[in-house]
Amino acid sequence: MITDPTLSSTDPKPSAPKAPKVIRITPRPALPIPQSGPVTRAPRPDGLPGTRWIDRLGRPLTDLRISVTDHCNFRCRYCMPKEKYAQNHNFLAMTELLTFDEILRVSRIAVANGIEKIRLTGGEPLLRKGIENLVAQLAALRTPAGKPIDLAMTTNGSLLIKKAQALKDAGLGRITVSLDGIDEDIFQSFNDVGYPAAKVLEAIDFARQVGFKVKVNTVVKKGVNEGEILKICEVFRGTGVTPRFIEYMDVGNANDWRMDEVVPSREVVARIAQRWPVESLSPTAPGETAARWRYLDGGGEFGVISSVTRAFCRTCSRVRLSMEGRLYLCLFASIGCDLRTMLRGGCTDSELETAIGRIWSAREDRYSELRSMGAAPSRQKVEMNYIGG
């Protein structure tokens, strides 16, 4: 006999249905828009038209990273671990996200004031419906000197074959694909949804055929995927694809980061140099995050990003716009300024320009530098899927 646990032993009638569970979403805190304060500007050092916003440490604003969604179809251990982002996780509703017109408006004002590079991130940006339409709008922007912006995207590659041609036709210039291993067991343990590395490699090859310049980002975690470094180099040597090995970072709070899990970039370079002779290269632009290296046999180049062991805060020129319109001044920030309220409250372009200028001009963030000194503030940090990498 099978006993139905919903039935009482003394009453054969079903019990009354339970009231539906009410899920409450706690709004993310936001800083108000500053109503006063200086807007600091400096001429471009190359003599081209226009000025750039400068922060309190003399750093110009030249790069804008835009997260277009907090959704992602992977559950990478260092970003959105499955136990903290379950299937019933409450992502933002579409009405809470910035519209493409709102993103374009912020971007247009930013480009007029010195932004030269825009990178679309997520979550997984290719999950945002119609993303190629936003790409086309951003690709049409021009700097005060009349030059097109450097428009790029970071993706996990799962939807890249489906979207690559449309993105190329829309004007996307560069693509960075996340790939934390070639070995299937290792890669699938990283993304934690069983997605094959072989499919990501296929997507990278397809993007190259479409005409994209492709970089590959690999987060290196001690005891997990150091053995993949040479494999990844081997796969992409001679292809024009540039792998970049990133130190495992304490972005957000969900990944339970520990310093003893970091593989220093110098060890990555040493490991590669034992296999192939290499030499360092000069940065392609001021404020570049990756240190560049090339193989002496002509096999191409690779990069390392040392945000833990060799902080580059002093040259950081990036600002991050979240999918719901918060402006963050640091990857390790805990709170951002609320531009969405301004955008939807009828502000003029001049008011929006002044607000962004004041926010950047007051900036003095240097979290990684302070961490290396043992003086980093102890605080909750915004998660990576919310503002991108």
User: In this structure, are residues 254 and 383 in contact, taking their beta carbons and an 8 Å threshold?
Assistant: yes
Q: Residue 36 class from Cβ within 10 Å (0-12 exposed, 13-18 middle, 19+ buried)?
A: exposed
Q: Is 330 among the annotated ligand-binding positions?
A: yes
Q: Is 252 among the annotated ligand-binding positions?
A: no
Q: What is the DSSP string of 100-159?
A: HHHHHHHHHHHHHTT--EEEEESS-GGGSTTHHHHHHHHHT-B-TTSPBPEEEEEE-STT
Residue ranges of domains in the chain, CATH in brackets: 41-386 (3.20.20.70)
Q: Is 347 among the annotated ligand-binding positions?
A: no
Q: Is 76 among the annotated ligand-binding positions?
A: yes
- 218 - beta bridge partners? 245
**Which residues 6+ apart lie within 8 Å of 8 measured at CB?**
15
Q: Is 215 among the annotated ligand-binding positions?
A: yes
Please tell me the distance from the alpha carbon of residue 355 to that of residue 377, in angstroms, as a whole number: 26
- Give percent of the chain with pLDDT exceeding 90: 67
- 64 - beta bridge partners? 118, 319
Q: Is 337 among the annotated ligand-binding positions?
A: no
Structure tokens at 141: 């922007």
Q: Is 318 among the annotated ligand-binding positions?
A: yes
Structure tokens at 270: 């040493």
Helical axes 160-170 vs 131-139, angle rounded to 10°: 30
Helix (H, G, I), strand (E, B) or coil at 218: strand
Please tell me the least confidently modeled range out of 7-11, 135-139, 205-209.
Answer: 7-11
- 119-142 average pLDDT score: 97
User: In this structure, are residues 152 and 174 in contact, taking their beta carbons and an 8 Å threshold?
Assistant: yes
pLDDT above 70: residue 389: no
User: In this structure, are residues 106 and 321 in contact, taking their beta carbons and an 8 Å threshold?
Assistant: yes
Q: Write phi, then psi, for 268 (nearest 5 degrees).
A: -65, -45
The secondary structure element, H or E, covering residue 26 is none
Q: Is 13 among the annotated ligand-binding positions?
A: no
For residue 254, the model assigns a pLDDT of 57
- Give percent of the chain with pLDDT exceeding 70: 87
Q: Is 123 among the annotated ligand-binding positions?
A: yes
- 231-236 average pLDDT score: 98
- The pLDDT tens digits for 266-316 are 999 999 999 999 999 999 887 788 999 999 999 999 999 998 888 888 999
Top mean-pLDDT range of 13-27, 317-331, 356-370? 317-331
Average pLDDT, the chain: 88
